[in-house]
Amino acid sequence: MQHATPSPAERPLRADARRNRRRLLDAAIALILELGGEPSRDAVAERAGVGIGTLYRHFPDRHSLLRAVALDVIDRTVERGEAALAESTSGGEALRRYLHDAVDSGLGVVNVVHALLDRTDWPDRRAAAQHVLDRLIDRARRDGAIDHDVTATDIALAAIRFCRPLAIGLDPAEERAIAHRQLAAYLDGLPVRLG
């Protein structure tokens, strides 16, 4: 045990491997958002412009692709949540911005994946997401932007509803535009006005 044997995960990926991994993730996200369900492996590989062998090398078993997709999206959402918290002038504005960002960053896939995955997966990330949301709500409350009867569950469920793809054959831009419009109206209707 002289020099710690570097676990294989540590070795940096070759450039093409990193690129393909990213492509697979993006393809999977796009497909899930489009069809509102789990896409077949072959479809993901084709969409990514990559061989199936490549998909299996990066994501060997049934769940690992979905897991990776969920982590990717959650991380992005948490990051944006932090930014919203840091940069917004009011709690209401931060919360509103967070939810609109969630629509844009594809949080919808997490909902879809969530249904397919064991809840015991990635407890840490879920905790991180939960934590950001809690802080957002807390601040919005302290600023008087939302009532106390608006719970974290309400917001989480709203995120699920408004981020979920309509799966009606709309193109992604239109889909997002609609989600933003509807979300805005919903937020306007929540007890007490959001900044």
Partner DNA sequence: CTGTAAGCGGAGCAATATACTCCGTTTCAT
Partner DNA sequence: ATGAAACGGAGTATATTGCTCCGCTTACAG
Q: Which residues bind DNA (CB under 7 A)?
A: 13-17, 19-20, 40-43, 49-54, 56-58, 60-62
Please report, to the nearest 10 degrees, the dihedral formed by the alpha carbons of residues 110, 154, 188, 111 taken in order. Answer: 10
Task: Read off the tokens for 89.
Answer: 């002038």
60 makes contact, choosing from DNA, its own copies, none, with CB < 5 to 8 Å by partner type, with DNA
187 makes contact, choosing from DNA, its own copies, none, with CB < 5 to 8 Å by partner type, with its own copies
CB-nearer residue toward DNA: 116 or 177:
116
What are the percentages of helix, strand and coil residues in the chain, rounded to 5? 70, 0, 30
Of the residues 158, 180, 192, 195, which one makes contact with its own copies according to CB under 8 A: 158
Of the residues 154, 180, 192, 195, which one makes contact with its own copies according to CB under 8 A: 154
CB-nearer residue toward DNA: 55 or 136:
55
Q: CB under 8 Å to 127, separation ≥6 — which residues?
A: none
Q: CB under 8 Å to 49, separation ≥6 — which residues?
A: 23
Of the residues 160, 180, 192, 195, which one makes contact with its own copies according to CB under 8 A: 160
Task: Read off the tokens for 149.
Answer: 């009867």
Query: Distance between CA 112 and CA 33 in Å, rounded?
Result: 9
Q: Which residues bind its own copies (CB under 8 A)?
A: 36-37, 111-112, 114-115, 154, 157-158, 160-162, 164, 166-169, 178, 181-182, 184-190
